[in-house]
Structure 1
Amino acid sequence: MLLNGLRRAVGAVRRYVRELMDETAYNRYVAHARSHDPAVSVPSRREFERMRTDRQESDPGSGFRCC
C-alpha cells in the first residue's frame, strides 16, 4: 500500500517535471493536428524541435536565449 502511494507520487512528479520542461509539446502538437485532420502528415519529433527552435530564434520578443 505504501509502495503504491510512493509510485503514484513519483509518477505525478515525473509528469509535472515533463510538463515544466515542455517535453510534452510534441505529443500535444500531434494530438492537436490529428484532432483537426486524422490523415495529416505530422513532422518527426526531430523536425518538430527544429521548427520550434527556428521559430523561437527568429522572434526576438520571445525572450529565447542560448545561454
Structure 2
Amino acid sequence: MRKLNMFWQRVRQLSGDDAYERYLAHYNEHHAQPGEAAPLTRADFFKQWQDQKWTGIKRCC
C-alpha cells in the first residue's frame, strides 16, 4: 500500500496536480507573516498559472 501511495504522489507531482498543495507549503514556510496578503485561493492560483503558461508568444521561431 505504501508503494502505491508513493507512486500516486509521484504521478501527481509529474502531472502538476499537486501544484496548489506545493504552493501552500511554500507560502506557509516563506510568506506567512502577520500583515502579509493571504495565499491565493485554488481557483485564483490555477487562473494565474494558466495565464502565465499561455500569455505571450509560445513558439520557437
Distance 1:59 1:28, change over 3 A: farther
1:30-63 Cα deviation digits (max 9, x unpaired): 1112222224401111110011001111143488
Counterpart-to-counterpart distance in 2, 1:59 and 1:33: 27
Aligned CA-pair RMSD: 2.1
**Is the contact between residue 56 and residue 62 of structure 1 (CA under 8 Å) also seen in structure 2?**
no
Greater relative CO (CA pairs within 8 A, separation 6+)? 2
Structure number with larger C-alpha Rg:
1
| Identity level (%) | 25
Give 1:13-24 correspondences, 5 Å limit.
13-24=7-18
5+ residue gaps, structure 2: none
How many equivalent pairs are there? 57
Residues 1:46 and 2:12 aligned together: no
Structure 1 residue runs of 5 or longer lacking an equivalent are: 1-6
